């Protein structure tokens, strides 16, 4: 073997990378995002493994070149989590989370476990605690004048009826995004805050609507 590796050291770095990335992935999983626990763990684990291989497996190689390729590769992966519905762009937070998780995996792979732990804590804080600040600012009118309305339906049979009703009350309502969640569907509209209460009451009269409520913007 042209190089010596410490199996225990490698294993610990990879395990920590997967576990720390899983903490971020758990938050995304709890928000029913397409890129959830397993995706984030695999991205962090993969980034750590690439870092280890680039550092130890190729004698005389420059590890920074591997790091640069990881950043580029995860950028393409994150782009797959972003989609656009009309004027609305969704998935940006999840894509940024995947990018951060790759950095956490690289940090753990480089053996900087305390740094990776701190980075994980900061990422988790950004995804959760700062959402409350954003929500507070929206309520005070400091951020825009629209609210995300979530309409949960048992089937999509009455979807067109919901769509027409929303636009009849709020002509400027943003284009809809639909997410599959377990055995139901969640349709999301960006509506004027002044129409939110009226819309929630109106759409609940439709047979297939399970519930209608405002969605916390920080979970999007």
Which tokens belong to 153? 């339906």
Which tokens belong to 83? 């989609």
- Higher pLDDT, residue 143 or 177: 177
Kindly report, residue by residue over 72-118, the tens digit of the pLDDT: 788 777 666 665 544 445 667 778 888 899 999 999 999 999 999 99
Taking Cα atoms as reference points, which of 92, 46, 51 lies closest to residue 68?
51
Statement: residue 219 has pLDDT above 60: no
Kindly report, residue by residue over 5-23, the tens digit of the pLDDT: 688 999 999 999 999 999 9
CA distance 3 to 56: 7
pLDDT at 86: 44
DSSP string, 88-150: EEE-HHHHHHHHHHHHHHHHHHTT-HHHHHHHHHHHHHHHTHHHHHHHHHHHTTSS-SEEEEE
Taking Cα atoms as reference points, which of 44, 183, 177 lies closest to residue 102?
44
Q: Which residue has the tokens 């732990």?
A: 117
- Numbers of helices and strands, H then E, in the chain: 8, 6
Coil, strand or helix at 216: coil
For residue 79, the tally of other CB atoms under 10 A from its CB is 12
pLDDT at 87: 42
- Higher pLDDT, residue 149 or 176: 149
Statement: residue 133 has pLDDT above 90: no
0.85 exceeded by pTM: no
Could you tell me the domains of the chain? 7-127 (no CATH), 145-219 (3.30.70.260)
């Amino acid at each position: 073997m042209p190089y010596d590796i410490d199996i225990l050291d490698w294993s610990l770095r990879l395990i920590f990378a997967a576990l720390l990335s899983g903490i971020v992935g758990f938050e995304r999983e709890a928000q029913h995002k397409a890129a959830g626990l397993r995706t984030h763990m695999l991205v962090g684990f993969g980034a750590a493994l690439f870092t280890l291989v680039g550092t130890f497996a190729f004698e005389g190689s420059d590890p920074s070149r591997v790091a640069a390729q990881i950043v580029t590769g995860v950028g393409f992966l994150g782009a797959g989590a972003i989609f656009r519905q009309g004027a609305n762009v969704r998935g940006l937070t999840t894509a940024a989370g995947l990018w951060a998780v790759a950095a956490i995996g690289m940090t753990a792979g480089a053996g900087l476990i305390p740094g990776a732990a701190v980075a994980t804590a900061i990422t988790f804080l950004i995804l959760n605690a700062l959402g409350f600040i954003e929500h507070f600012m929206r309520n005070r009118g400091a951020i825009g004048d629209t609210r995300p309305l979530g309409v949960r339906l048992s089937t999509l049979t009455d979807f067109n009826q919901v769509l027409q009703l929303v636009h009849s009350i709020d002509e400027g309502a943003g284009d809809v995004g639909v997410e599959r969640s377990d055995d139901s569907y969640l349709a999301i509209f960006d509506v004027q805050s002044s129409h939110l209460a009226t819309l929630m009451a109106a759409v609940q009269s439709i047979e297939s609507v399970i519930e209608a409520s405002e969605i916390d913007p920080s979970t999007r």
